[in-house]
Amino acid sequence: MNEQPKQFKWVGTRTIRPDGVDKVTGRAMYGADLTLPGMLEGKVVRSPHAHAKIISIDTSKAAAMDGVKAVVTAADMPLADPTPVASGEAMINLRDLSDNVIAREKVLYEGQTVAAVAATSADIAERAAALIEVEYEVLPHVIDVLEAMKDDAPVLHDYMFTGGIKPKPEKASNVANRVEFSLGDIEAGFAAADVVIEKNFTTEPVHQGYIEPHAVVADMGPDGKVDVFCSSQGHFMVRAFVAGLLKIDMSKIKVTAAEIGGGFGGKTTVYLEPLAVMLSRKAGRPVRMVMSRDEVFRASGPTSGAALTIKMGATKDGRITAGDATLYFQAGAWPGSPVGPAAMTAFAPYDLENVKVVGFDVVSNRQKVVAYRAPGAPISEYGVESIMDELASELGIDPLEFRAMNGAKEGTQAAYGVKFGTIGMQETIAAAQATEHYKIPLGPNQGRGVATGFWFNIGGESCAGIRINEDGSVSLTEGSPDIGGSRASMAIMAAETLGIDVNKVKPSVVDTDATGYAFVTGGSRVTFATGMAVVDASKAAIDEMRARAAMIWDVDVDGVVWEDGHAKPASTNVGDFEPMSLAELAKVANKTGGPISGHADINAKGAGPGFGTHICDVEVDPDTGFVTVLRYTAIQDVGRAIHPSYVEGQLQGGAAQGIGWALNEEYIYDADGKLENPGFLDYRVPVASDLPMIDAILVEVPNPTHPFGVRGVGEVPIIPPLAAVNNAVAAATGVRFNALPLSPPAILAGLADKE
Amino acid sequence: MSGMRYEAPGSVDEAVALLADANGAARVLAGGTDLLVQLRAGMISPDVVVNIKDISETHGITAEGGGFRIGASVSGAEMGENAALVAAWPGVVEGAELIGSTQVQGRATMTGNLCNASPAADGVPALIAGGATCTIAGPNGTREAPVGDIPTGPGKTSLGNGEFIVAINLPARPANASDAYLRMIPRTEMDIAIVGAGVNLVLDDDGTCTAASVVLGAVGPKTITVADAAAALVGSKVDDAALEAVKAAASAAATPIDDKRGTVAYRTKVAGVLAARAAAIAATRARS
Ligand SMILES: Cc1cc2nc3c(=O)[nH]c(=O)nc-3n(C[C@H](O)[C@H](O)[C@H](O)COP(=O)(O)OP(=O)(O)OC[C@H]3O[C@@H](n4cnc5c(N)ncnc54)[C@H](O)[C@@H]3O)c2cc1C
């Protein structure tokens, strides 16, 4: 690993995680852990059909049951405006969101909510839910993306006409939207190529697989004030969606962020929260709702499955001349797949002159997709990186060298519009080439694959407050739910800026009444953007402390500097004053103007793009098709690792999830469109014994726009594994697969075809 | 959910009486790693659950007549810690030890695995291949039955009203005998076999196979004993030709279905592969 310059006292060190003890002792409060006096338990009635019209809902038997305090249906929810609002990295239509929370006229996937009950116990609520009679008219359904695009496919929304094409189509269809990004002239590019490879690929939808199911406690008072406690990636997002759906003023809703047991993008929307508020409003009592794992699989997540066509050409000497991609993305029951970012990222790791990417957002009768780490990018880059590997082997060039030859650099124009600033793509490839791993000899039936990945990373709105307490300790407040150790990083950045011991800083993620707005914890933005707010707030507190020292010394504030946690005279000209520490200034604050604090409410710009390169070794059992991952190294430009352990954890976790995506994860539907594997037994995320130790190598090319050089790190690492595994399997078997997952039956079938 | 009774009798007779009284609405609780999952999922709703772990006869692994008696409450972990059992019946033990994870191992029993009557049960093929029997207590006293007679189909057993298994018995071992069990799952643990293969065999002093049994799991509604595969082994030195014949016979005997866990084509092929590999491992163990 590279040497950390001795530039910082806390940044780059492995401090103890502020939330660690609570989590290992079980003291931490997750979404389901709050119990309030008089609290009811809520349960949901879900559609048994993939596609059906709701003829009638009879709740009378349930409502009459002893212990039942409230029953709600869509009739209890105001009709939402179909106005798009931001949800994670995508825009969402409130009307669609409302239908996903509780179906109004039609059910569009098996598991969609049609009613909810609150009762004095979970058992009563469950039995009451079973008494709710829903009459359906079952409609033909469609699950697969290519099937859904066919002319004779059942149409989900008769009002939906494909956007992005002119003239507007005459017929409603399941294709919600068409997007296109291009650069140069691909015809000319392919004409200049010596080798052209074109392939079709498919990937399956995959769930984010967070361990904590969705859970909420909501309490609405008779005056209309609402308290919500839930596990989410953004309590301000929950506030906005509950307010928007139920037409309540935001100021009346207070959302407290529970500790979160994983989200990975999947908790950037609401499912239960509005229902719990509706039930609480009706019952006049607090209501808790917790999904079962079965419900999590049937009704939340996943990210899109897709069908792709990728075409690339290169000259004999290894220069890529053109890239062309067509992407068909499953959106689930309503529009909003991540096909846009997939199209933008597809060829972004490379410096190409001629690129064209066309994407289609397609609805079908399955769960509405929601963000999952680097939404869309793993899918499109899987296709591109698989072709990259094939091109390299056709041309007889080492696959890392081939990527270096064509890799993006500072100044590269990306097809999606930007010209890259300081980026670390080349540095990650060089680091990969330098690993021991890349040189280890392989045995029979073993293969090595590499792949790179690119993700934008985002900034956005964040607020932070620094309060200097009377005893010189510091309370840090912010509003970004901590999903990967961000409180540790916030404390480090505050301590570094203030020049005090990190243990003097207590970071807290506070409720929506106690801090300013923060956009969701997503887009790899928190350490970058909220971190920037923390630094700014710390600087504001420093300015205040300089002013206080200036007042005490009776000098001009410009004559006071802040160094190493102390106010000091800027020079001997200012005067000969003993430096005053933060604690000393805190102690006399009441005599110098009162409490000292610093705040920052920002919209952070200039997130640094992230690049990663992964190396994967596999062994394939030629008789069973079983793939063993032997070795795995994830290398990434992280800008600067504020807390290296949690950055390494991001790389390892992303790689693990990407490996699961590549090898085994898939949704299995029966002929009626019902999910057959709604549990971790048959929806196979990797278990610990499936994975080798994943080596994480941090490359640091600081992001010039962040005070400490931070780039987002959470999303890039899930991008390369799909192709790295695919390329390794190709090397081990001599067969190029073009469909995920690479499950044992799929591998064996592919090997049989080769013979 | 309401009104379920829990009982923990201290003797075989009490247990039998409780089970008989419930007239089919009772469930035996051993490790509970199937039972509790099924209760929670609402798949079963018995009137009474009878925990047999307080009955002394269900405990302990004892050497008997050259073989072993394994109490019905003995967990997979206990089997793995018994050196004599592991030496004599490595295949039976590896079947038991494939069940679940370390945590599940501390609870799960072979008898529970057998009586849950899943065609994919990992503990069962090697027991059948090894000629194991079980001791069954019931209203009419105690009887013995081959392990293979207990499951009659997915989730169904031949146990009568009031009956439960007290112990599983493994027979005496001749010299140069051993066994092996292999299964296929798409990951490395915490999964259900899509194919299982147990092989038990005896070699003579020259290394020629004199007796063999090959049993497949998860490729039919019940385990499948592949007589042709055993016949291919007997008289051979368990060489490549014999193993090829085992492979072909096992694939031919497999009658799997297409389901969410695997396809017919895949399971049929892999049944042969695993049977041949298990035979090779058993032979290597028998030789050493
Ligand atoms: C996480 C997990 C992983 C698992 N992995 C595997 C695996 O890899 N392979 C595998 O085969 N199984 C697996 N299982 C299933 C289960 O663990 C095994 O089948 C186990 O052997 C059951 O034993 P038990 O003692 O827990 O049975 P219990 O749950 O106590 O009982 C199972 C059934 O047998 C009946 N029963 C139990 N004892 C007797 C008796 N003495 N007489 C009559 N009836 C009886 C019960 O009434 C019940 O119907 C797994 C389960 C879990 C939860």
Each domain of chain B, given as residue ranges in start order, spans: 5-51, 56-170, 177-287
Residues 6+ positions from A740 with CB-CB distance below 8 Å: A201, A202, A203, A204, A382, A661, A662, A722, A726
Is A159 in contact with A72 (CB distance < 8 Å)? no
% of chain B exceeding 90 in pLDDT: 92
Average pLDDT, stretch B48-61?
Answer: 97
For residue A261, the number of C-alpha atoms closer than 13 Å in the C-beta half-sphere is 16
Model confidence pLDDT, tens digit, residues A14-61: 999 999 999 999 999 999 999 999 999 999 999 999 999 999 999 999
To which H or E segment does residue A541 belong? helix A531-553
Which of A66, A211, A293, A624 best tests the B interface by mutation, with the highest count of B CBs <10 A?
A624
Average pLDDT, chain B: 96
Q: What number does CATH give the domain B56-170?
A: 3.30.465.10
CB pairs under 8 A between A and B: 51
Distance of CA A515 to the CA centre of its chain: 23
Sheet holding A460-468, edge to edge: A505-509, A474-478, A460-468, A596-604
Residues 228-287 of B with CB under 8 A from A: 260-263, 265-266, 269-270, 273-274
Our separate counts of H helices and E strands in chain B read 11, 14
Residue numbers in B near A686 (CB within 8 A): 187
Q: Is the peptide bond before A140 cis (omega within 30 degrees of 0)?
A: no
Q: Using N-to-C axis directions, what is the helix angle for A720-733 and A377-395, rounded to 10°?
A: 40
- Burial bucket for residue B66 (CB in 10 Å: 0-12, 13-18, 19+): exposed
Model confidence pLDDT, tens digit, residues A416-460: 889 999 999 999 999 999 999 999 999 999 999 999 999 999 999
Indicate if ligand 1 lies below 6 Å from the C-beta of B127. no
Which of B2, B118, B188, B247 best tests the A interface by mutation, with the highest count of A CBs <10 A?
B188
What distance in Å separates the CA atoms of residue A109 and residue A297, rounded to the nearest whole number? 12
Indicate if ligand 1 lies below 6 Å from the C-beta of B95. no
Residue numbers in A near B260 (CB within 8 A): 668, 676-677, 682
> pLDDT band for position A5 (50/70/90)?
low
To which H or E segment does residue A332 belong? strand A320-332
Find, in chain B, the residue whose alpha carbon is nearest to that of A681. B191
Which residue's CA is the closest to the ligand 1 atom numbered 36? B112
What distance in Å separates the CA atoms of residue A322 and residue A185, rounded to the nearest whole number? 8
Indicate if ligand 1 lies below 6 Å from the C-beta of B29. yes
Distance of CA A210 to the CA centre of its chain: 11
Amino acid at A376: G
Average pLDDT, stretch A629-649?
Answer: 98
Average pLDDT, chain A: 96
To which H or E segment does residue B68 belong? strand B67-71
Task: Decide if pLDDT at A397 tops 80.
Answer: yes
Is B7 in contact with B54 (CB distance < 8 Å)? no
pLDDT for A90: 60
Neighbours of B121 (CB within 10 A): 25
pLDDT for A88: 54
Chain B closest CA to A269's CA: distance in Å? 28
pLDDT for B262: 87
Q: Are strands B133-138 and B141-146 parallel, antiparallel or unpaired?
A: antiparallel
Is ipTM strictly over 0.85?
yes
Length of chain A: 755
Atom of ligand 1 nearest to the CA of B27: 47
Cβ distance of A687 and B261 shorter than 8 Å: no
Q: Which of A626, A680, A745 is nearest residue B263 as measured by Cβ atoms?
A: A745
Indicate if ligand 1 lies below 6 Å from the C-beta of B151. no
What distance in Å separates the CA atoms of residue A451 and residue A634, rounded to the nearest whole number? 10
Which of B240, B260, B268, B277 best tests the A interface by mutation, with the highest count of A CBs <10 A?
B260
What distance in Å separates the CA atoms of residue B232 and residue B226, rounded to the nearest whole number? 10
Which superfamily is assigned to B177-287 in CATH? Answer: CO dehydrogenase flavoprotein, C-terminal domain (3.30.390.50)
Chain B closest CA to A667's CA: distance in Å? 10
SS3 label, residue A563: strand
Model confidence pLDDT, tens digit, residues A520-553: 999 999 999 999 999 999 999 999 999 999 999 9
Pocket test for ligand 1, best of B29, B73, B99 (most atoms within 8 A of CB): B99
Task: Decide if pLDDT at A674 tops 70.
Answer: yes
Tell which residue, A294, A356, A296, A291, has the closest CA to residue A322.
A356
Find the B281 Cα to ligand 1 centroid distance in Å: 27
Which domains does chain A possess? 20-27+459-604 (3.30.365.10), 376-457+608-754 (3.30.365.10)
Find the A18 Cα to ligand 1 centroid distance in Å: 41
Model confidence pLDDT, tens digit, residues A325-349: 999 999 999 999 999 999 999 999 9
Find, in chain A, the residue whose alpha carbon is nearest to that of B100. A681
Indicate the pTM of the whole model. 0.96
Tell which residue, B92, B75, B248, B72, has the closest CA to residue B180.
B92
Find the A310 Cα to ligand 1 centroid distance in Å: 48
pLDDT for A84: 83
Is A450 in contact with A400 (CB distance < 8 Å)? yes
Cβ distance of B189 and A689 shorter than 8 Å: yes
Task: Decide if pLDDT at A501 tops 80.
Answer: yes
- DSSP for residue A557: G
What are the Cα distances from residue B91, in Å, to A664, B80, B180, B230?
Answer: 28, 11, 4, 16
Length of chain B: 288
Angle at the Cα of A391 from the Cα atoms of A691 and A323, rounded to 5 degrees: 100
pLDDT for B42: 85
To which H or E segment does residue B275 belong? helix B264-287
- Burial bucket for residue A495 (CB in 10 Å: 0-12, 13-18, 19+): buried
Cβ distance of A626 and B260 shorter than 8 Å: no
Indicate if ligand 1 lies below 6 Å from the C-beta of B97. no
- Burial bucket for residue B23 (CB in 10 Å: 0-12, 13-18, 19+): exposed
Chain B closest CA to A689's CA: distance in Å? 6
Chain B closest CA to A444's CA: distance in Å? 18
Which residue's CA is the closest to the ligand 1 atom numbered 43? B164
Average pLDDT, stretch A363-384?
Answer: 97
Residues 6+ positions from A505 with CB-CB distance below 8 Å: A473, A474, A476, A491, A494, A495, A498
Chain B closest CA to A744's CA: distance in Å? 6
pLDDT for A92: 74
> pLDDT band for position A692 (50/70/90)?
very high
- Burial bucket for residue A240 (CB in 10 Å: 0-12, 13-18, 19+): buried
Indicate if ligand 1 lies below 6 Å from the C-beta of B52. yes
Tokens of A13: 């060190």
Q: CATH 3.30.43.10: does it fit domain B5-51?
A: yes
To which H or E segment does residue A240 belong? helix A235-246
Pocket test for ligand 1, best of B101, B115, B159 (most atoms within 8 A of CB): B115
Chain A closest CA to B107's CA: distance in Å? 19
Residue numbers in A near B182 (CB within 8 A): none
- DSSP for residue A159: T
Q: Which of A85-94, A251-260, A418-427, A560-569 is the least confident region?
A: A85-94
Tokens of A644: 């290296």
Which residue in this structure is represented by tokens 């006229």? A105
> pLDDT band for position A158 (50/70/90)?
very high
Model confidence pLDDT, tens digit, residues A280-309: 999 999 999 999 999 999 999 999 999 999
pLDDT for A2: 46
Task: Decide if pLDDT at A87 tops 80.
Answer: no
Task: Decide if pLDDT at A3 tops 90.
Answer: no
Tokens of A178: 């068409």
Task: Decide if pLDDT at B77 tops 80.
Answer: yes
Backbone angles phi, psi at A753, to 5 degrees: -65, -30
H-assigned helices in B23-149: 35-40, 76-80, 83-88, 90-97, 102-105, 110-115, 124-129
Average pLDDT, stretch A552-560?
Answer: 97
Q: Which of B189, B262, B266 is nearest residue A687 as measured by Cβ atoms?
A: B189
Cβ distance of B187 and A690 shorter than 8 Å: yes
pLDDT for B1: 45
Is A742 in contact with A725 (CB distance < 8 Å)? yes
Is A466 in contact with A597 (CB distance < 8 Å)? yes
> pLDDT band for position A565 (50/70/90)?
very high
